[in-house]
Amino acid sequence: MPVRILALVGSLRAGSHNRQLAETAVRLAPEGVEIELFEGLADVPFYNEDIDLDGSAPEHATRLRAAATGADALLLFSPEYNGTIPAVLKNAIDWLSRPFGAGALKDKPVAVVGTAYGQYGGVWAQDEARKAAGIAGATVLGDLTLSIPGSVVRFAETHPADDAEVTAQLTELLNGLASRVAAHTAA
């Protein structure tokens, strides 16, 4: 049975470098690993406990929860917006954290990667995503990181899939994630 990883991208822009990075991860998935790039984060309403009712949560939030529940791990791709995590990614984490103590992230391995324009590659946002996922109950794999700086320049004419350094780093991270997930599910 393959290891199933759900990828969530914190940028909604069609030409997002983080989306391109996620698409590259899908293509680079090691043998025995399936990475599903979740589509539809833009349709998930802002988390509101008043609409998160048992059996009648919004359809898009329910679909997100089902995808996360069916995955063995999550891989979050986070750009940096004003020095922090994008709202769409934080909102996904909020939905996946409920019901409190038993949400879809409970004990699920999560790794966070990304690229951003700044010189540090979005590490502040990625650290915030790790923090939020951990508080939401995930098993954050803090040693599996990849922050690629200068995205606007670096990927102006080169897709991440065509950048040998990026594909090597991403392949190493995916292999590490797959082995950690295998160890986690065997425990």
Give the pLDDT mean for 76-83: 95
CATH number for 51: 3.40.50.360
Q: To the nearest whole percent, how much of the chain has pLDDT over 90?
A: 92
Q: Give the range of the structural domain holding residue 70, as residue numbers without chain letter.
A: 3-186
pLDDT in tens, 7-54: 999 999 999 999 999 999 999 999 999 999 999 999 999 999 999 998
Give the pLDDT mean for 55-75: 96
Task: Indicate the burial class of 108 (C-beta count within 10 angstroms; 0-12, 13-18, 19 or more).
Answer: buried
Domain count for the chain, please give it.
1
pLDDT in tens, 160-172: 999 999 999 999 9
DSSP strand pairing (33-37 vs 3-9) = parallel
Q: What's the pTM value of the predicted model, to 2 decimals?
A: 0.97
Q: What rounded mean pLDDT belongs to the chain?
A: 96
Tokens (6 digits) for 159: 């897709």
